């Protein structure tokens, strides 16, 4: 057993103590005698380690933390476990020994009861010992700390030394900066002047971080190689690999390193899933607020990015990437680009809305509806309890509909379709710039290799299958007599298989078929639940309208439509928010039972299920109002009923577009305000408060002291674990759907999305900096499957907006009337043209109004919104020719609009190149410079070799004289051979 010679805090007389004995005291719980060991461990322990950021020696930085739960026997004192495993590979495994420290304690009294043996905890401890021993063999350095302020929680600090960092950086092909720098091609002429002016204008809104200005020089990067270390600037080895890179390297080692037990190979993901370790995470760089806080990247991010007071500033994306990694950096870069692109969309939406306001008094159809002189009597909105009503009573709704149903709406729909295409192209170009600046070009191979590690659940399922297969084989061998030769072969096969039996077993579609069937049935059932809820809300609207129509108050009866619509939308909003949370959990569960092999596969399947369910949940009520409400009503005397008593809803005389606007605006704003902001602010605050109360209960007497003196890894352990970017992307994708899918009915949607995103960026930033543990940095070139979802929504938006304009609004009927039926080329008479007549004597029995004289006169003919033949016609109440003319125009508009906008979007896609020209030139320049660098290096090597050989040759050919007899040739006249010297160089 080697001795931990670097344990310098021990006094000289105690330095011969083996780590094995120290561990034995801790495991058994012997009472230590008063000696120098405890004192040496407790003399200002945090002076050098900077409260947990470094090892106890104050030199080695903590790159990663493993957390585990441990149980101590009650009523006994234990030795503080701050044991280093950095020098001996037996440090972790020595914990299995149980020998007391000689002369340093006495065993517990013989009469005292022994603590019960917890085999489950012992199994976890043995797994940890083996795993940590394997980490030591991999080259990592470990230090244990169980004397923490958190009761029953131990920490293993991990440090990667220089040789391990170099080895893993070469293995992962990490691009690191070389000594070579080159000039970036600068813009010239007019573009240079414009960029300089823009730079001066935007300087106040730039974050106060280094390198926020455009750089004229760039450092050439190259995949790290230990053979070519001379190419890299290694003047400061401590900062050559930053904290993000160091934690990534350690995490790759943790994933690759395994411990074996019961023929099962367990990596860090399996150990975490099985509770052997409670958590694993890299440390934050330090505190982010306080007067005496040492300056660090986390504090800089908090001051220049994560505070609401800097909402007007650009994001320090490069610093975000440096601290959190490329994957998170790309998310915030995408969110920033999306928010910027919402600015022109918001401006155009406001202009469209103001155009509607300005032309409201000039809209002839709404003026005719409000004109009392027309005296149009409308048919009842429900059977028996509802009476006849005047069209002029819907004046306010008709005027408000013009705000969102005017010719500018069509222009705005086309604009938003082109905006979506431009946004996608702009993001692709921005993504390429970031890939260039972050040295991610040519990254595909490494990305697949890193993400191909099997998940813990997959490994466990494979183990279960392999054990079942092995047990079946044993049962077969019992019934089949085997000779000695077969037994010998079986033993050899088992020995060769070792602990990797699971490598030969894979999950097939037969194993996953029950999960696939469960997924299909569950998704269909949940979609059916969503439709059933929408149907329930429809029944509520119908019954509530009938109930309010029976009210004696005129004010209540005059506001029936607004009251019913508002209350129904609020019910829809509450149900959507609740089901969103439920569907998110169900989607995760359905993905888990599929047991995907890799994290990438798990993430993609989860995203697909969650998006499908949340898409249906969020947009089904809106789809109903846009395309189904008022379409299947029937006519007076022959209405369509559900459940034999509820009559289908009708649209208002001004159309359903106004109601669609109300539905969309309330759901969109409600989701953003409640779900995206309130939940994201309130739930973390509540969880933090609960953790505070638990900590106070665990140590009420020393709570204040523990808060002040907690180590960095203890503080980070109390933060929320990072759960991935799926929830963040999902809420933005759903919002993107609200902005693009039904924008024809709500031009102000981009404005409200912009206001929400300004808050959302700082909210997410604050959550990442202050509320979450630091996530492991993950390299990524793009936003993955989310880009395809965005493109799909953009294509779908064109189709939906075409149908909204054509079938939901009155834009097409107005055009048809204007060019086919108008006598004077104006819209006068349009309202009368869209209304059909009904003879009240044709009502079905029991459906006529109970109070036919409610308006003060007897009604014989009432009007309803439809294109049908009048009651005095031969084919009364049949669909008229006008209906088919309008329908043909609507379908023609859908076809023309869809193809025209699709063509324009594809044209924008074709015109704007995916890779900016300057970036492609810089990438080519980097390749040329790299080739020149290596060619020059080879030339220098060859020149140095030629010079050395020339010197050797001149030395061999030197003239023989008495002063230098050794330089003379031998007796045969041949010089000494020189190839032996050359062999050491070549």
Sorted by sequence, the CB contacts under 8 Å of residue 152 that are 6+ apart come out as 69, 70, 71, 72
Kindly provide the residue ranges of all beta strands, DSSP E only, lying in 313-423, ordered along the sequence. 377-378, 389-390
Is a pLDDT exceeding 70 seen at residue 589? yes
Same domain? 385 vs 265: no
Question: Domain for residue 922, yes or no?
Answer: no
Q: What is the pLDDT of residue 958?
A: 64
CA distance 861 to 855: 13
Is a pLDDT exceeding 80 seen at residue 501? no
Secondary structure of residue 96 in the 3-state scheme? helix
Q: What is the pLDDT of residue 480?
A: 60
Question: Domain for residue 85, yes or no?
Answer: no
Question: Domain for residue 843, yes or no?
Answer: no
Confidence of residue 486 (pLDDT cuts 50, 70, 90): low
Question: Domain for residue 715, yes or no?
Answer: no
| Residue appearing with tokens 């003239």 | 959
Residue 857 φ/ψ, nearest 5 degrees: -150, 160
Is a pLDDT exceeding 90 seen at residue 27? no
Q: What is the pLDDT of residue 654?
A: 66
Same domain? 731 vs 787: yes
Confidence of residue 527 (pLDDT cuts 50, 70, 90): very high
Kindly provide the residue ranges of all beta strands, DSSP E only, lying in 39-89, ordered along the sequence. 64-69
pLDDT in tens, 122-146: 888 888 888 898 899 989 999 888 7
pLDDT in tens, 799-828: 998 998 888 888 888 899 988 888 888 888
> Of 791, 811, 831, which one is at a domain's C-terminal end?
811
pLDDT in tens, 849-859: 887 887 788 88
Same domain? 137 vs 59: yes
**Lowest-confidence segment of 229-233, 325-329, 444-448, 814-818 by average pLDDT:** 444-448
Alpha helix (H) residue ranges in 181-265: 190-202, 237-240, 243-256
Confidence of residue 865 (pLDDT cuts 50, 70, 90): confident
CA distance 610 to 721: 21
DSSP assignment of 420-484, as one string? HHHHHHHHHHHHHHHHHHTT-TT-HHHHHHHTTPBPHHHHHHHHHHHHHHHHHHHHHHHHS---H
**Lowest-confidence segment of 167-181, 241-255, 527-541, 686-700 by average pLDDT:** 686-700
CA distance 827 to 831: 9
Q: What is the pLDDT of residue 981?
A: 34
Q: What is the pLDDT of residue 483?
A: 53
Higher-confidence residue of 625 and 15: namely 625
Is a pLDDT exceeding 60 seen at residue 332? yes
Distances (CA, A) of 334 to 326, 329, 348, 606: 12, 9, 22, 21
Query: Which helix (H) or strand (E) segment is 382 a member of?
Result: none
Sorted by sequence, the CB contacts under 8 Å of residue 977 that are 6+ apart come out as none
Confidence of residue 517 (pLDDT cuts 50, 70, 90): very high
Picking from 170, 787, 171, 174, the residue whose alpha carbon sits closest to that of residue 442 is 174
Secondary structure of residue 40 in the 3-state scheme? helix
Picking from 214, 241, 67, 94, the residue whose alpha carbon sits closest to that of residue 154 is 67
Burial environment of residue 492 by CB neighbours within 10 A (0 to 12, 13 to 18, 19 or more)? exposed
**Lowest-confidence segment of 95-99, 552-556, 558-562, 664-668 by average pLDDT:** 95-99
Alpha helix (H) residue ranges in 560-678: 560-594, 599-623, 657-670
Q: What is the pLDDT of residue 90?
A: 37
Q: What is the pLDDT of residue 50?
A: 65
Looking at the structure of the chain, the number of domains it has is: 2
Same domain? 267 vs 338: no
Question: Domain for residue 609, yes or no?
Answer: yes
**Lowest-confidence segment of 436-440, 793-797, 933-937 by average pLDDT:** 933-937
Same domain? 611 vs 558: yes
Picking from 696, 716, 693, the residue whose alpha carbon sits closest to that of residue 706 is 696
> Of 811, 831, 857, which one is at a domain's C-terminal end?
811
Q: What is the pLDDT of residue 100?
A: 32
Question: Domain for residue 571, yes or no?
Answer: yes
Is a pLDDT exceeding 70 seen at residue 839? yes
Q: What is the pLDDT of residue 709?
A: 60
Q: What is the pLDDT of residue 743?
A: 85
CA distance 246 to 161: 10
Q: What is the pLDDT of residue 600?
A: 82
Same domain? 784 vs 691: yes
pLDDT in tens, 545-585: 777 777 767 666 667 777 888 888 889 888 998 898 899 89
Q: What is the pLDDT of residue 178?
A: 85
Picking from 122, 151, 69, the residue whose alpha carbon sits closest to that of residue 697 is 151
Is a pLDDT exceeding 60 seen at residue 229? yes
End-to-end CA distance of the chain: give it in Å, rounded. 42
Q: What is the pLDDT of residue 175?
A: 85
Q: What is the pLDDT of residue 696?
A: 67
Structural contact between residues 975 and 957, judged by C-beta atoms closer than 8 angstroms: yes
Q: What is the pLDDT of residue 543?
A: 82
Q: What is the pLDDT of residue 919?
A: 79
CA distance 423 to 335: 12
Same domain? 798 vs 675: yes
What is the extent of the structural domain holding 64? 55-69+120-172+234-283
Tell me the chain's radius of gyration from C-alpha atoms.
Answer: 38
When pLDDT is averaged across residues 46-65 and rounded to a whole number, the result is 78
**Lowest-confidence segment of 178-192, 295-309, 418-432, 477-491 by average pLDDT:** 477-491
Higher-confidence residue of 31 and 237: namely 237
pLDDT in tens, 140-166: 999 888 777 777 788 999 999 999 999
When pLDDT is averaged across residues 863-881 and rounded to a whole number, the result is 88
Question: Domain for residue 471, yes or no?
Answer: no
Q: What is the pLDDT of residue 437?
A: 87
| Residue appearing with tokens 């330089």 | 967
Same domain? 257 vs 341: no
| Residue appearing with tokens 């450092």 | 219
Give the other-Cβ count within 10 Å of 5's Cβ: 10
Confidence of residue 978 (pLDDT cuts 50, 70, 90): very low
Kindly provide the residue ranges of all beta strands, DSSP E only, lying in 46-203, ordered along the sequence. 64-69, 105-106, 141-145, 153-159, 175-183
Same domain? 616 vs 754: yes
Structural contact between residues 21 and 102, judged by C-beta atoms closer than 8 angstroms: yes
Distance of CA 766 to the CA centre of its chain: 15
When pLDDT is averaged across residues 296-324 and rounded to a whole number, the result is 89
Picking from 919, 856, 924, 743, the residue whose alpha carbon sits closest to that of residue 349 is 743
Confidence of residue 751 (pLDDT cuts 50, 70, 90): very high
CA distance 131 to 191: 59
Same domain? 346 vs 241: no
**Lowest-confidence segment of 498-507, 758-767, 930-939 by average pLDDT:** 498-507
Is a pLDDT exceeding 50 seen at residue 340? yes
Q: Which residues pair with 64 in a beta bridge?
A: 158
Is a pLDDT exceeding 90 seen at residue 221? no
Question: Domain for residue 754, yes or no?
Answer: yes
When pLDDT is averaged across residues 880-888 and rounded to a whole number, the result is 91
Computed over every residue of the chain, the mean pLDDT equals: 77
Residue 265 φ/ψ, nearest 5 degrees: -90, 120
When pLDDT is averaged across residues 433-459 and rounded to a whole number, the result is 71
Q: What percent of the chain has pLDDT over 90?
A: 17
Same domain? 632 vs 750: yes
Picking from 821, 806, 808, the residue whose alpha carbon sits closest to that of residue 893 is 806
> Of 788, 811, 834, which one is at a domain's C-terminal end?
811
Q: Give the tokens for residue 791.
A: 């493109």
Picking from 193, 92, 184, the residue whose alpha carbon sits closest to that of residue 140 is 92
Structural contact between residues 698 and 780, judged by C-beta atoms closer than 8 angstroms: no
Distance of CA 27 to the CA centre of its chain: 42
Q: Give the tokens for residue 410.
A: 């069509």
Q: What is the pLDDT of residue 108?
A: 34
Q: What is the pLDDT of residue 80?
A: 37
Q: What percent of the chain has pLDDT over 70?
A: 78
Same domain? 265 vs 397: no
When pLDDT is averaged across residues 776-793 and rounded to a whole number, the result is 89
């Amino acid at each position: 057993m080697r001795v931990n010679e670097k344990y310098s805090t021990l006094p000289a007389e105690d330095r011969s103590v083996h780590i094995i004995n120290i561990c034995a005291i801790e495991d058994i719980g012997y009472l230590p005698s008063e000696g120098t060991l405890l004192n040496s461990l407790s003399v200002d322990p945090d002076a050098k380690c900077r409260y947990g950021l470094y090892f106890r020696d104050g030199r080695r930085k903590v790159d990663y933390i493993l957390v585990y739960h441990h149980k101590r026997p009650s009523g006994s004192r234990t030795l503080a476990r701050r044991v280093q495993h950095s020098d001996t590979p037996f440090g972790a495994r020595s914990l299995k020994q149980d020998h007391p420290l000689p002369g340093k304690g006495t065993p517990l009294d013989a009469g005292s009861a022994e603590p019960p043996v917890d085999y489950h905890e012992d199994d976890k401890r043995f797994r940890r010992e083996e795993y940590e021993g394997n980490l030591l063999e991999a080259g990592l350095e470990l230090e244990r700390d169980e004397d923490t302020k958190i009761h029953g929680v131990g920490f293993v600090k991990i440090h990667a030394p220089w040789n391990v960092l170099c080895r893993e950086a070469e293995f992962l092909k990490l691009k690191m900066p070389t000594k070579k720098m080159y000039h970036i091609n600068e813009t010239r002429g007019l573009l240079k002047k414009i960029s300089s002016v823009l730079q001066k204008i935007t300087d106040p809104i730039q974050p106060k971080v280094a390198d926020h200005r455009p750089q004229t020089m760039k450092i050439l990067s190259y995949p790290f190689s230990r053979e070519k270390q001379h190419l890299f600037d290694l003047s400061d080895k401590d900062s050559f690999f930053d904290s993000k890179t160091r934690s990534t390297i350690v995490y790759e080692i943790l994933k690759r390193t395994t411990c074996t037990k019961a023929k099962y190979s367990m990596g860090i993901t399996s150990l975490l899933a099985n509770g052997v370790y409670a958590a694993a995470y890299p440390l934050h760089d330090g505190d982010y607020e306080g007067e005496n806080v040492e300056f660090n990247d986390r504090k800089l991010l908090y001051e220049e990015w994560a505070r609401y007071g800097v909402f007007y500033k650009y994001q320090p994306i490069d610093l975000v990437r440096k601290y959190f990694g490329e994957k998170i950096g790309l998310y915030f870069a995408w969110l920033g680009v999306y928010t910027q692109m919402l600015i022109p969309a918001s401006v155009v939406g406001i202009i469209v809305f103001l155009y509607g306001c300005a032309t409201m008094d000039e809209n002839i159809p709404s003026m005719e509806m409000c004109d009392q002189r027309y005296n149009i009597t409308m048919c009842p909105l429900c059977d028996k309890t509802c009476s006849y009503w005047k069209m002029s009573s819907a004046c306010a709704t008709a005027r408000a509909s013009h705000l969102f149903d005017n010719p500018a709406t069509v222009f705005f729909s086309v604009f938003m379709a082109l905006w979506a295409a431009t946004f996608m192209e702009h993001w692709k170009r921005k993504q390429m710039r970031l890939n260039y600046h972050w040295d991610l070009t040519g990254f595909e191979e490494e990305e697949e290799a890193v993400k191909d590690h099997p998940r813990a659940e997959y490994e466990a399922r494979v183990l279960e299958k392999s054990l079942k297969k092995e047990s079946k084989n044993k049962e077969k061998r019992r019934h089949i007599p085997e000779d000695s030769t077969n037994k010998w072969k079986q033993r050899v096969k088992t020995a060769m298989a070792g602990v990797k039996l699971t490598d030969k077993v894979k999950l097939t579609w037969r194993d996953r078929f029950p999960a696939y069937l469960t997924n299909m049935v569950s998704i269909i059932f949940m979609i059916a639940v969503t439709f059933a809820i929408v149907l329930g809300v429809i029944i509520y609207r119908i019954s509530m309208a009938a109930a309010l129509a029976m009210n004696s108050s005129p004010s209540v009866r005059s506001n029936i439509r607004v009251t019913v619509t508002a209350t129904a939308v609020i019910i829809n909003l509450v149900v959507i928010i609740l089901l969103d949370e439920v569907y998110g959990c169900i989607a995760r569960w359905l993905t888990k039972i599929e047991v995907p092999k890799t994290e990438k596969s798990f993430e993609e399947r989860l995203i697909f299920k969650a998006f499908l369910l949340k898409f249906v949940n969020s947009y089904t009520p809106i789809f109903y109002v846009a395309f189904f409400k008022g379409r299947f009503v029937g006519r007076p005397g022959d209405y369509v009923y559900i459940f034999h008593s509820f009559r289908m809803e009708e649209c208002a005389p001004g159309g359903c577009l106004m109601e669609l606007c109300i539905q969309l605006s309330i759901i969109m704003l409600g989701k953003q305000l409640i779900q995206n902001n309130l939940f994201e602010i309130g739930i973390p605050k509540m969880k933090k408060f609960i953790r505070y109360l638990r900590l106070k209960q665990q140590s009420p007497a020393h709570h204040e002291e523990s808060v002040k003196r907690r180590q960095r890894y203890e503080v980070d352990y109390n933060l929320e674990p990072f759960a991935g970017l799926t929830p963040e992307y999902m809420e933005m994708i759903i919002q993107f759907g609200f902005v693009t899918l039904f924008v024809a009915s709500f031009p102000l949607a981009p404005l409200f999305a912009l206001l929400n995103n300004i808050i959302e960026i700082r909210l997410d930033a604050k959550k990442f900096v202050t509320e979450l543990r630091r996530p492991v940095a993950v390299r990524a070139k793009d936003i993955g499957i989310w880009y395809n979802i965005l493109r799909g929504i953009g294509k779908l938006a064109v189709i939906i907006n075409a149908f909204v304009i054509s079938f939901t609004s009155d834009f097409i009927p107005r055009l048809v009337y204007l060019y086919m039926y108008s006598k004077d080329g104006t819209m006068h008479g349009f309202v009368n043209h869209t209304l059909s007549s009904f003879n009240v004597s044709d009502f079905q029995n029991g459906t006529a109004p109970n109070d036919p004289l409610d308006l003060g006169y007897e009604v014989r003919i009432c009007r309803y919104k439809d294109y049908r033949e009048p009651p005095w016609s031969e084919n009364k109440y049949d669909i008229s020719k006008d209906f088919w003319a309008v329908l043909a125009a609507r379908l023609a508009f859908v076809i023309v609009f869809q193809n025209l906008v699709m063509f324009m979007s594809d044209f924008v896609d074709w015109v704007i190149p995916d890779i900016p020209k300057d970036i492609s030139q810089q990438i080519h320049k980097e390749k040329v410079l790299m080739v020149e660098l290596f060619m020059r290096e080879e030339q220098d090597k060859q020149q140095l070799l030629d010079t050395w050989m020339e010197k050797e040759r001149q030395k061999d050919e030197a003239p023989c004289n008495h002063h230098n007899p050794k330089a003379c040739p031998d007796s045969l006249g041949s010089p000494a051979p020189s190839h032996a010297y050359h062999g050491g160089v070549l």
